[in-house]
Structure 1
Amino acid sequence: MSIIHTPEPGEVTGDVAEIYAADERDLGYVAEYTRVMSVNPEAYRAWEQLVRAIVAQLGLRRYELVTLAAAQGTRSQHCRLAHGRKTLKLMDEPELERIARDYHDAGLTEAEVAMMEYAERISEDSASMTEDDASRLHELGFTDREIVDITLAAAARNYFSRAIQALGVAVEVPPGIGDDLRGALLAPL
């Protein structure tokens, strides 16, 4: 249970009710992280808009791979589980399990691995990053715009992951994740 008191689904109105309803449609319940973050519905909506703007340029597959790597870097089981579930729309469970266990040895392209390494590094120690960190992405053909979008996706994940961790949000396993995948996503980071 988080450190923030949140209203029950039947107690909310307006924008918060719409935010809750989206989770109910998608998950069958309102996730605790949604309840906590929608205490400020304006910030929650701005967050959603930021993600849409990043995905529109980066593409959904790249966004989800970056998100998984950034969540690994922040040690966010919340976001690894939530985005593991979302990534199942893009790939099958065995492939995602391999990525969750070790994306370096999961059959990804060299560019995808480099992108994930970069996102994980942002999440672990962005203050020490230099031009060399992005040079590998340039060598693999990423444009400056793509590098900015990868950086924004990782930084956005850091924002959300760190906020829900700081607010004591419980880790919930969303529906549709098999035992092996759950184990891979929840493995010590």
Structure 2
Amino acid sequence: MSILRTVDESAATGDVAALYEEEIEAQGYVPSHTKVMALNPEAARAWQSLAQSLARPMGKRRWELVTLAAARALRSQHCLLAHGRRTMLLLPEEQLLRLAEDYRDADLTEAEVAMMAFAEKVSTASHAMTDDDSLRLREVGFSDREIVDIALAAAARNYYSRAIQALAVDVDVPPDLPDPLREALLRPLGAQA
């Protein structure tokens, strides 16, 4: 639990109130991570702008798959749950359950699997990446711009996930996330159901 004193919804004004209202409209509640990040509303807006500038050209599906791969590698429960919920709009629940268990066995395209493996490596061993990692993305059809966008999306997820983990932000479980999916998203890698 974070020791930070956040602004209560009833006391929020200005851009903090606007950030809260956007979350209520999108999710039905204000997540703990939004309340903490809203302590610096300018940075919260800069994050939103960065995320939108990356997600828009990538498309929602690619953005969410990269996000889930990076979040899994980072063990970011916050982002796994939030983006697992968002991905429910893009994939059937059964496929999303399989993706949560092992994206390599979830009926994704070869390009999507390569993209997720790249995002995973950005999050765990970016220091060891070479041209071979980017060449693999090129081999499965990504353009140079798309390779840059994938790297930036994974790196951006590292920024946000690490910040909320460092601040010990409470993990919110979206109320409309099915229990089996929640359990699969939070299950440690390699653990059996």
Name 1:96's counterpart in structure 2.
96
1:48-89 per-residue CA deviation (whole Å, 9 max, x = no partner) reads 111111112111100000000000111101100000001111
Match of 2:61 in 1: 61
Q: Is the 8 A contact 1:27 1:175 kept in 2?
A: no
2-structure distance, mates of 1:187, 1:120: 17
Describe how 1:118-137 pairs up with structure 2 within 5 A: 118-137=118-137
| Percent identity of equivalent pairs | 59
Deviations 1:3-33 (A, max 9, x none): 2110100111000000011112222221100
Query: Comparing 160-169 with 86-95, which one deviates more in the overlay?
Result: 86-95
Match of 2:84 in 1: 84
Partner letter of residue 42 of structure 2? E
User: Which whole-Å deviations, capped at 9, do the CAs of 1:71-112 have from their partners, x for residues lacking one?
Assistant: 011110110000000111111211111111100000001100
What's the TM-score once normalised by structure 1's chain length?
Answer: 0.97
Give CA-to-partner distance per residue, 1:157-185, whole Å, 9 cap, x none: 00000000000011111122111101111
Quote the residue 1:30 is aligned against. 30
Matches within 5 A, 1:102-113: 102-113=102-113
Residue 75 of structure 1: aligned partner: 75
User: Over aligned residues, Cα RMSD in angstroms?
Assistant: 0.9
Letter in 2 for 1:58: M
Which structure 1 residue ranges, 4+ long, deviate > 6 Å from structure 2?
none
Indicate the residue corresponding to 2:184 in structure 1. 184
Measure, in 1, the Cα distance between the counterparts of 2:3 and 2:94: 36
CA distance in structure 1 between the partners assigned to 2:42 and 2:133 by the alignment: 34
Verify: 1:114 aligned to 2:111, yes or no. no
CA distance in 2, matches of 1:69, 1:129: 16
Q: Distance in 2 between matches of 1:150 and 1:78?
A: 21
Corresponding position: 1:141 with 2:138: no
Indicate the residue corresponding to 1:168 in structure 2: 168
Structure 2 stretches lacking a partner, 5+ long: none
SS of 1:39's equivalent? coil
TM-score (norm 2): 0.95
Partner of 2:153: 153
Instruction: Assess if the C-alpha contact under 8 Å between 1:71 and 1:80 holds in 2.
Output: yes
Unaligned runs of 5+ in 1: none
Q: Distance in 1 between matches of 2:105 and 2:128?
A: 26
